[in-house]
Structure 1
């Protein structure tokens, strides 16, 4: 996971007569009915116009950093669940007023977002995992229950990393053999669990990238050694070209850039290249 800069909301979401705000107001009125137990039927967040805007921001899964667009269109993910929250008792309602809120919407792969059966790295049984309607807090009494409530208290006890608000590099380290994510904070650990970031197939894909990354580091180190013996302009350019290739792994649109940045930072520091 990497930090993502979210641009301002598209103008159509703020249109007071636009269907997104109209639906939100209907949902607020729906849940204002005393004793309401029927879930509101949200449909407008699925509009391709909105999804196209999200695709400009999330070119890969916001959570696991896998590419999805060549085989799948991605899930519109509600960071705070819209209908119910599994940690709440009773579960209904969820954050219904945020169903069409730009800051609450991300794009993710179906494996991070939906409930699916997975085998986790180091864990044998096949079990169901996935975010779905989870939104854990370190203090559930701070959970928002109304559309006029302030976010401040809940944000202070939020346990899931939001790539548009947090710095994931402060919460994760990585194993240099298998590409397994190592949590270094409670937020990191809970996010790994909820987003299923240790599913075996994902770990294998990260390892493939890790091996390619380490091969490129070897090339850089070789050319650095040559440059130390021959500080010619030509050799300097060769070294720079290999460094540029290495840094491609860390670009925001590259798969598993969070892991790659972790190891590239170490490599550049150890070899006095920064």
Structure 2
């Protein structure tokens, strides 16, 4: 996971205030949907629930059949607008905001609400409503793979079993008393105690580290809240799951191999020049070196997978005596890849 600088949206459903509405002119579609959601969750739904409760109370006295509670369903749609989706694809470079996996043509992206819109899990129980007023809020929308976004059974590394993982309606807080349940209130106090890393606000690279097998862990010597955020994010987003760990390890091994290969070619070319070998032979080796340098640079492009892990490993390799440090000593500035 890496930090993503969120830009303003230009999608018309979020910005165009020329919406023709006889009731409230000058609204965006997002504004109108937010108003309707507020009305539904604070007026319409409570009224329906009160009617059912009253009828059931009467039925209980008369021995009649009880009615089911009204289904809680509001038709949020603005967040799925094609222009919103396109902007999120661009913002997150067609990668999951959480695990940094690419979206393939067989794996559609989910538009994820950081704060769940319809319901939220509180103390292990699904509670309605969620953050209904943020259903079309640009800052609350993320691009996520189904594995990170949806509750599912994920494989456990090294064990022939699965456990439940994926964000779903989770939004855990360090202090539940700070949770905001109604629109119009400030989220500032809640923000201070949220336990999930927000890649558009936080710097995940400051709190996450990686092992040689691709495992992801909190960094050592973190402050209490940062450690809780790292631990909780790894757990809730399912960043620990086996297939993802294996994919990270595969890329990590490739990075190590590229660094070693580049070092070998640099030394070989230096020896060839010292030995007075032909320019043509030297150029042949230089072409191969350039190819490997291109591969290395490509691994650190903004749209590349698992940048958080690769940057972490490169920082390790730049420590004295490691491959990256040796390359720096011969004039190859790898720190540019960390920008």
**Which of 50, 59, 62 matches 2:84?**
50
Query: CA offsets, 1:183-216, max 9 Å, x none?
Result: 1222111001000011111111111111211110
For 1:157, what is the secondary structure of its paired residue? coil
CA contact (8 A) 1:250 1:258 kept: no
Bigger relative CO (Cα 8 Å, ≥ 6 apart)? 1
Segment of structure 1 superposing worse, 147-156 or 246-255: 246-255
Larger radius of gyration: 2
Match of 1:72 in 2: 107
1:214 partner SS: helix
**TM-score, normalising length from structure 2?**
0.73
| Range 118-127 or range 63-72, more displaced | 118-127
1:22 is matched with which residue? 32
Deviation at 1:8, TM superposition (A): 0.6
What count of residue pairs does the alignment treat as equivalent? 273
What value does the CA root-mean-square deviation take over the aligned residues? 2.6
Alignment partners' CA distance in 1, 2:187 and 2:139: 13
- Between 122-131 and 55-64, report the one with greater CA deviation: 122-131
Shift of residue 71, structure 1, vs aligned partner: 2.1
Deviation at 1:127, TM superposition (A): 2.4
> With structure 1 as the length reference, what TM-score do the two structures score?
0.89
Return 86-95 or 105-114, whichever deviates more. 86-95
Q: Distance in 2 between matches of 1:27 and 1:123?
A: 44
Contact residue 83 and residue 96 of structure 1 kept, 8 A: yes
* Secondary structure of residue in 2 paired with 1:51: helix
The residue that corresponds to 1:41 in the other structure is 75
Q: Contact (CA 8 Å) 1:84, 1:133: kept in 2 or not?
A: yes
| CA offsets 1:198-245 (integer angstroms, 9 cap, x no match) | 11111111111112111101112223444776788979x776764553
Correspondence 1:188-227 to 2 at 5 A: 188-226=230-268
Structure 2 equivalent of residue 5 of structure 1: 5
Aligned equivalent of 1:61, options 96, 100, 109: 96
**Structure 1 gap ranges (5+):** none
C-alpha contact 2:11 2:87 (8 A) present in aligned 1: no
Equivalent residue number for residue 309 of structure 2: 259
Q: Does 1:179 align with 2:214?
A: yes
- Once residues 241 and 258 of structure 1 are traced to their aligned partners in structure 2, the CA distance between those partners, rounded to angstroms, is 24
Assess if the C-alpha contact under 8 Å between 2:11 and 2:83 holds in 1.
Answer: no
Equivalent residue number for residue 224 of structure 2:
none
